[in-house]
Chains A and B, each alone.
Chain A
Amino acid sequence: MTYKSLNDPFNPDLSLRHEAGCTCSRCTADRDTREEGQLPLAAGAAAAGTAPESLIQTETLASEEAVMDRAIESAVVRSVFGHSEISRRSFLGLLGSGTAAALLGSVFPMEAAKAAIKETMSTGKLEKTKLDVGFVPITCATPIIMAHPMGFYERYGLDVSVIKTAGWAVARDKSLSMEYDAAHMLTPMPLAMSMGAGSTAKPFIMPAVENINGQAIVLHNDHKDKRDPRQWKGFKFGVPFEYSMHNFLLRYYVAEHGLDPDTDIQIRVVPPPEMVANLRAGNLDGYLSPDPFNQRAVWEKVGFIHTLTKDIWEGHPCCAFACSQEFAETHPNTYGALLRSIIDATHYSAKPENRKEIAEAIAPKNYLNQPVPVIEQVLTGRFADGLGNVQNVPDRIDFDPFPWHSMGVWILTQMKRWGYIKGDVNYQQIAEEVYVAGETAKVMKELGYEPPAKTYENYTIMGKEFDYTRPEEYINSFAIRRS
């Protein structure tokens, strides 16, 4: 593209004004064609083709970036000369353009100005607007899903297709192959994928947590009399994926009750939608799975809710929004817009008064494909537990995008504890590389939300203290562990 008003401001032979009588090739070409009665636009191209000397004078700026740079330079140079073309051209002619540029650069921070202006402009220009975002049909993905019917993606200029995925392994593979631009994942997955645990290693980043809490342990109706985990020896449990909070929380929970999750019970990987059918068939005695399949088991009169995971660890992270580092780097503006829409949607989902409306928006076939009352019970926290009670737990599931580094460290300690990763682990470094809390905080601030001032904190999980500064000691403090 050629921008007539964007001639090199350091070239004394070129006018920046193009007023009547301007001698630059573009202007003369334009005048010629007007005299011949042709359309100026078509003729401009023709002139560029026929008159070779015009190529020397009117350069073509290759990228939008170059155009932006030139516009900024031009503005600065013009203002230095009080917008007088004559003094600019005579001064530069005297000094030579290179010297003048260096001289100007020494008193005015040109590069910094360019960077600052482009930064503020960058929110506007998206590299890619049509995106594919994968999700597994569970309520943890609520912000990712509801952003589609409720217009959060559109608000940030994106045309996102949210694509239902059959399970986490497929979501992982489709993310690794870049078939998905970004995807709903489990919080441990980007850590595992970045380290190459259970897949090929590819750097993934997790700029937002989707939900906190929101899971439950469900048992088959036959086990209503076995509410003490110590009676669970020989039980078959389902979890949705190996690298999941579900797996780590179930292991933690039974181990705290003295059961070894690897020998005393059996843990099977079952995709969430298949949980209820397996429970009914007696293939599972219980599961720790995402909703709505806990509530669905109650609705189908197959099982009851034994405990909500919020009672194991209040405020634990669960699912995440993640993408490859490559996507974020090659499409920084699109990535920014996507992140803004997700964080905005997550905050919208966090408000209890919006939950009913969201339940209706995400229930149809295109999204969760579940009965509205089931989703509503999960999101509003007023639910039947299958034991004859109506419980009222408003924060049964909650939404908070901030990816605490300490959560990453905790997940890594459990991966190490159960032998999913071996050897020396640099806990904080990996957590900080994958959980990009800084970007989240920036976007949160921009959208008017208050991000936490720190990225690490300690947790108390089932009465046991987790100190993020001492991960190895924490692992060794457990009686039941693999390493």
Chain B
Amino acid sequence: MIHSLKFRAAIVSVVLLALFLGIWEGLNAPPGDTQPLTEYEKLMGGASQEARVPQPSAVFSLAMEELGNPFYDAGPNDKGIGIQLGYSLYRVLTGFFMAALVALPIGFLVGMSPLMQKALNPFIQVLKPISPLAWMPLALFIIKDSEASAIFVIFICSIWPMLINTAFGVANVRQDWVNVARTHELGHLKTAFQVILPAAAPTILTGMRISIGIAWLVIVAAEMLVGGTGIGYYVWNEWNNLDLTSVIFSILMIGIVGMLLDAALASVNRLVEYQE
């Protein structure tokens, strides 16, 4: 048990983390102000010579404080980290599911019909590489609502991996299975839902997993741009105050929530996997 690979890897991880944090903490100790400050020094914000990266201990104590009361609400511009993450998750999931509603049927169509594949391909190729944030000014102008615009940006960036993976999965279902369905005289719809969909499901879910990852990346930037609420706004607001401790804390939170989102889709993916 003690010698299992998992256990040993965990020990190495912890040692690496401790080493990293120790060096970080040691290198960034602030010098104490020893002598009484003159008025000029006070107006300059103390005698310490330059701004430095906050120590892990400062980040940790801030994290304790923020996570101790994650749902406080002190006005429209100051809300707890839990509320901010909630807003971001709501936008990501709304945009993501709207994208799924559009991308999966179109992906199916493209995958099943070589004609549609050829016809839609140019559009997909042009639209796919556009940075989601490039849509933001246009979205703000047309939709005239910053909340809906943020969701639209998530929608537009989630759509492509899902669409392409669905098309790929559907197009690559083994021909034998489709032939068997044909000999059993299954109709088109029945073939699609009973043979092709289950066969392509793992590929489709991989596409969805990529999409949610991108969506979570994009929401931070989108919220930084429009402000208001969300984890992106939180980072921007702390940057506005050049408060690096909070920025590092929010980076950690973004990482953890992103990991959880990915893990959720990975477990759904395992449900539809099959052995050939």
Q: Footprint of B on A, CB under 8 Å?
A: 137, 161-166, 169-170, 173-174, 176-179, 200, 273-274, 276-277, 280, 296, 298-302, 364-367, 369-371, 373-374, 377, 382-384, 386, 388-390
Residue B39 at the A interface, CB < 8 A? yes
Contact of A137 among B44, B76, B240 (CB under 8 A): B240
CA–CA, A386 and B141, complex, Å: 42
Q: Which residue of A lies closest to B240 (CB)?
A: A273
Chain B residues within 8 Å of A382, by CB: 43
Check B76–A299 contact: CB distance below 8 A.
no
Chain B hits for A273, CB < 8 A: 236, 239-240
Is B237 in contact with A369, judged by CB distance below 8 angstroms? yes
Look across to chain B and name the residue whose beta carbon is closest to the beta carbon of A371: B45
Residue-wise interface mask of B (234-246) relative to A, using a CB-CB cutoff of 8 A (1 in contact, 0 not): 0011111111000
Return chain A residues, CB-CB under 8 Å to B217: none
Judge whether A301 and B50 touch: CB under 8 Å: yes
Cβ of B118 within 8 Å of any chain A Cβ, yes or no, is: no
Q: How far is the CB of B275 from chain A (nearest CB, A)?
A: 50
Task: Write the chain B residue with the least CB distance to A300.
Answer: B51
Q: Is the CB of A299 within 8 A of B45?
A: yes
- Interface segment among B100-108, B192-200, B221-229: the answer is B221-229
Name the A residues within 8 Å of B44 (CB-CB).
298-299, 301, 384, 386
- Chain A residues contacting B228 (CB-CB under 8 Å) are 163-164
Q: Which of chain B's residues have a CB closer than 8 A to the CB of A300?
A: 45, 51, 242
Mask: chain B, 122-152; 1 = CB below 8 Å from A; 0 = not: 0000000000000001001100111000000
A384 and B237 contacting across the interface, CB-CB below 8 Å: no
Report Cα–Cα, A163/B237, bound state, in Å.
12
Q: Which A residues are in CB contact (< 8 Å) with B240?
A: 137, 273, 369
Sampled A-B contacts (19; CB under 8 Å): A162-B77, A163-B228, A169-B137, A177-B140, A178-B144, A179-B144, A179-B145, A280-B51, A296-B242, A299-B45, A300-B51, A301-B44, A365-B74, A365-B78, A366-B77, A373-B42, A384-B43, A384-B44, A390-B40
Measured between beta carbons, the chain A residues less than 8 angstroms from B76 are: 161-164, 366
| A277 and B239 alpha carbons, distance in the complex (Å) | 9
Question: Are A365's CB and B43's CB within 8 A?
Answer: no
B75 beta carbon closer than 8 Å to chain A: yes
Contact of B145 among A162, A177, A377, A383 (CB under 8 A): A177
* Cα–Cα, bound, A471→B245 (Å): 51
Q: Does any Cβ of A come within 8 Å of B49's Cβ?
A: yes
A residues in contact with B146, CB < 8 Å: 170, 174, 179
A370 proximity list for chain B (CB < 8 A): 241
How far apart are the CA atoms of A166 and B225 in the complex, in Å? 6
Q: Which 8 A-B residue pairs are closest in the complex by CB-CB distance?
A: A177-B144, A384-B43, A273-B240, A366-B78, A166-B227, A366-B75, A164-B77, A365-B78
Known: A274-B239, A369-B238. 20 other contacts (CB 8 A): A163-B77, A163-B228, A164-B76, A164-B237, A165-B227, A166-B227, A170-B226, A170-B227, A173-B141, A174-B140, A300-B242, A301-B45, A301-B50, A364-B78, A365-B237, A366-B74, A371-B45, A377-B43, A382-B43, A390-B40
With both chains docked as a complex, state the minimum distance between the C-beta of A5 and any C-beta of chain B, in angstroms: 44
Inter-chain contacts of B140 with A (CB < 8 A): 170, 173-174, 177
Contacts of A374 in B (CB 8 A): 45
Assess the A277–B242 pair: CB atoms within 8 A. Answer: yes
A298 to B40, CA, bound (A): 11
Residues of B within 8 A of A169 (CB): 137
Which chain B residues in 22-66 approach chain A with CB under 8 Å? Answer: 39-40, 42-45, 49-51
- By CB atoms of chain B within 10 A, which of A166, A200, A389 has the most? A166
CA of A382 to CA of B42 in the docked complex: distance in angstroms? 12
User: What chain A residues lie within 8 Å of B137 (beta carbons)?
Assistant: 169, 173
The A-contacting residues of B in range 64-91, CB under 8 angstroms, are 74-78
Chain A residues near B226: list those with CB within 8 A.
Answer: 166, 170
In the complex, residue of chain A having the shortest beta-carbon distance to the beta carbon of B237: A369
A296→B51 CA distance, assembly (Å): 12
CB distance from A332 to the nearest CB of B (A): 24
Within the assembled complex, what's the spacing in Å between the Cα atoms of A339 and B70? 37
Across the interface, A164 reaches (CB within 8 A) one of B40, B227, B243, namely B227
A139 to chain B, nearest CB (A): 13
Complex Cα gap A377–B42 (Å): 11
A365 to B75, CA, bound (A): 10
Q: A166-B236, A177-B140 are in contact. Are A373 and B45 (CB under 8 A)?
A: yes
Chain B residue contacts of A371, Cβ below 8 A: 45, 241
Docked complex Cα distance between A273 and B225 (Å): 12
A377 to B227, CA, bound (A): 27
B241: A residues at CB distance < 8 A:
365, 369-371
* CB-nearest residue of chain B to A161: B76
Contact at A301–B42, with CB atoms within 8 Å? no
User: How far apart are B223's CB and chain A's nearest CB, in angstroms?
Assistant: 9
| Docked CA distance A369–B235 (Å) | 12
Q: Compute how far the CA of A162 lies from the CA of B76 in the bound complex, rounded to whole angstroms.
A: 7
Contact assessment for B40 and A389 in the assembled complex, using a CB-CB cutoff below 8 Å: yes
Bound Cα distance A173, B75 (Å): 23
CA of A161 to CA of B227, assembled, Å: 14
Q: How far is the CB of A360 from chain B (nearest CB, A)?
A: 16
> How long is the Cα–Cα vector from A390 to B44 in the complex, in angstroms?
10
Chain B residues within an 8 Å CB radius of A177: 140, 144-145
- Inter-chain contacts of B144 with A (CB < 8 A): 176-179
Closest to A383 in B: B43
Q: In the complex, what's the smallest C-beta–C-beta distance from B49 to chain A, in angstroms?
A: 7
User: Please, which residue of chain B has its CB at the minimum distance from the CB of A390?
Assistant: B40
- Chain A residues with Cβ under 8 A from B75's Cβ? 161, 366
User: When chains A and B are docked, how far (Å) is the Cα of A393 from the Cα of B145?
Assistant: 42
Interchain nearest-CB distance for B90 vs A (Å): 18
A388→B40 contact, CB < 8 A: yes
Q: Is the CB of A166 within 8 A of B49?
A: no
Q: Determine the chain B residues whose CB is within 8 A of the CB of A389 once the complex forms.
A: 40
A200 to chain B: which residues have CB within 8 Å? 141
User: Shortest distance in angstroms between A373's beta carbon and chain B's nearest beta carbon?
Assistant: 7
Across-interface contacts of B224 in A (CB, < 8 A): 166
- Point out the residues of chain B lying under 8 angstroms from A365, CB to CB: 74, 77-78, 237, 241
CA distance A156 to B224 in the complex (A): 33
List the A residue with the shortest CB-CB distance to B142.
A177
Cα–Cα distance between A384 and B228 once the two chains are bound (Å): 33
Find the A residue at minimum CB distance from B232: A166
**In the complex, which residues of chain A have a beta carbon less than 8 angstroms from the beta carbon of B238?**
369
A190 CA / B262 CA spacing, docked (Å): 46
Nearest CB in chain A: distance from B168 CB, A: 38
User: What's the nearest-Cβ distance from chain A to residue B83, in Å?
Assistant: 13
